[in-house]
Amino acid sequence: MNPVEVVVVGAGQRGRDVYGAWIRNHPEEARVVAVCDIDRDRARSMARLHGTDLVFDDPAEVFSGGRLGQAIIIATPDRFHHGPAGAALELGYDVLVEKPMASSLADCVDLVARAETSAGSLHVGHVLRHTPFFRRLHDLIGDIGDVVTVEHRENVASWHMAHSFVRGNWAIAERATPMIVQKCCHDFDILSWNLPSRVASLYSVGSLYEFHPHRAPTNATSRCLECPVDDCPYDARPVYLDMSRSGWPVSVITEDLSHGGRVEALRTGPYGRCAFRAGSTVVDNQTVTMQTEDGATVSLVMHGHSHVEERTMRYDGTRATIRGVFGARQHLEIHEHRSKIRREVDIPQPRSGHGGGDDGIMRSFFSSVRTGGTGPTEAATSLESHLLAFAAEDSRLTGVPVDVATLRP
């Protein structure tokens, strides 16, 4: 079995440190034959790790001379997914694109349409579908009778909120996808997978509550390095100057992970700014209420003020209730209504990041590439989650409920 030849577009945290690292650890499955990144030095660095000298700094060059391999991974920033993914489909590549697949609903619909006529295939990075936890949850849904109501919470830890959505790549709405899209297209995908019928309508509210200059602590300075406030929950120093950490999120702020390199990054870069003065324009809390076509009700809560990074959920059916926690701690239990029996559910140990989803999605993708089959990350399936996420943001902005059926292609 020859390894699948892969082109990687985007040599950042996901492209290099997750997908690229997986390929290096599984040479029998795949090998990287070309790397593209707008930072040519970063592209060269990743290419050296994979033993190739085929390097590009412009995605257009990747597609100008025909296919370079069989598969391509698009791990660029959100707003740069649509162009490369569409060009790859035109050439017949099998494509794995990070979620969200595009930064507007129209572009998502366009990619799905292109995939339907392409010789290749389009898969989206919904890693949660590939975790042992969510696969086990999905298998349990039939045990609770008819689903009546669902509560699902995306509890983003406060340090993660500050890293990604206040100081980081998704902080400015005009330059990124909305937080409900970027963070929760995963959650909408899980809900769409588990609900017995599609969402008919939804309504959403949310706001940027915390991260404003007037909420900064007294005496807070513009950067954390010189700030005298010693109890700020968003202080960058404990996160990035902890020398026991070398992976994400520290690896995002600088290539130089020495103490001096980290200090310099906090002194001059975006991750050292006061969170209250960083200028974030995205929400830090949002709630979506939904009703399905068969009358079940669903609530999704996303917020960036959790003490711990985890998703929590409850599915109530006519016969039983499922409760779950997915994070560093993973737990599922089912309560039967009539017998009052409560049982804990065994969950296989995850083997990679995202609760085992990073390994699972790579195995699924390369299996699909080899067999020509489709998996749970197929773009047509993924479109529903994107549609719901964009509809939720539209509802938040307009204050008007959305009839979801009117948005479906």
Quick: pLDDT tens for 185-208: 999 999 999 999 999 999 999 999
What backbone phi and psi angles, to 5 degrees, belong to 394? Answer: -60, -40
Distance CA 352, CA 158 (A): 23
Confidence category of residue 219, pLDDT binned at 50, 70, 90: very high
Q: Is the pLDDT of residue 378 over 80?
A: no
Confidence category of residue 374, pLDDT binned at 50, 70, 90: low
Task: Indicate the average pLDDT of the chain.
Answer: 94
13-42 pLDDT tens trace: 899 999 999 999 999 999 999 999 999 999
Tokens of 308: 């711990």
| Distance from the Cα of residue 57 to its chain's centroid | 24
Distance CA 206, CA 344 (A): 34
The H-or-E segment that residue 388 falls in is helix 379-398
In the CATH scheme, what architecture does the domain 4-124 have?
3-Layer(aba) Sandwich (3.40)
Q: Is the pLDDT of residue 95 over 70?
A: yes
What backbone phi and psi angles, to 5 degrees, belong to 321? Answer: -125, 135
317-343: average pLDDT: 96
321-350: average pLDDT: 93
pLDDT of the residue at 354: 83
Tokens of 150: 């669902």
Place of tokens 């080899």: 370
370-380: average pLDDT: 70
Which residues, other chains included, contact 12 with Cβ-Cβ below 8 Å and sequence gap of 6+?
37, 42, 75, 252
Q: Please say whether the beta carbons of 218 and 228 come within 8 A.
A: no
CATH 3.40.50.720 domain range(s) in the chain:
4-124
175-188: average pLDDT: 94
pLDDT of the residue at 178: 94
Rounded alpha-carbon distances, angstroms, from residue 242 to 247, 249, 250, 375, 386? 11, 11, 9, 39, 36
CATH 3.30.360.10 domain range(s) in the chain:
129-211+280-354+377-407
Q: Can you name the CATH fold of 129-211+280-354+377-407?
A: Dihydrodipicolinate Reductase; domain 2 (3.30.360)
148-170: average pLDDT: 97
Measured at the CA of 214, the angle between CA 210 and CA 215, to 5 degrees, comes to: 40
Q: Please say whether the beta carbons of 402 and 201 come within 8 A.
A: yes
pLDDT of the residue at 25: 96
| 310-317 and 297-306 beta bridge pairing | unpaired
Q: Is the pLDDT of residue 62 over 80?
A: yes
Total count of residues recorded for the chain = 409
3-state class percentages of the chain: helix first, strand second, coil last, to nearest 5: 40, 25, 35
Q: Is the pLDDT of residue 392 over 80?
A: yes
